[in-house]
Structure 1
Amino acid sequence: MLRVLIAFFIPWLSFFTIGRPIAGVICLLLQVTILGWVPATIWALLALRSYDEEHG
């Protein structure tokens, strides 16, 4: 649940918590603009979902 909140409010940080630092940096660059925040949040939530499915 905590990771979902992080993905919603600080999407770039969620990538670092699942061991994907390059994706985290790209996500942070998306978040620099307000318009990029929504795609970054969606991307982070989908990445977390995929991570949870792979790691149980």
Structure 2
Amino acid sequence: MYKRALEADPKDANSLGNYALFLSDIRKDYDAAEAMYKRALEADPKHANSLGSYA
């Protein structure tokens, strides 16, 4: 689901942040989650959910 959303809009901060949360909390893939959080914050530096979760 997240991969499809990112294919449609690879700079959507909501999709990037939600995918990062999934990678972190469900998959326990912290390196990939960190990369997604960084992409989300590059897309929108004020994205509250990504800022809070990445911190």
Q: TM over 0.5, yes or no?
A: no
Higher relative contact order (CA 8 A, sep 6+): 1
Please indicate the TM-score interval, normalised by the length of the shorter structure.
0.3 to 0.5
TM-score, normalised to structure 2's length? 0.37
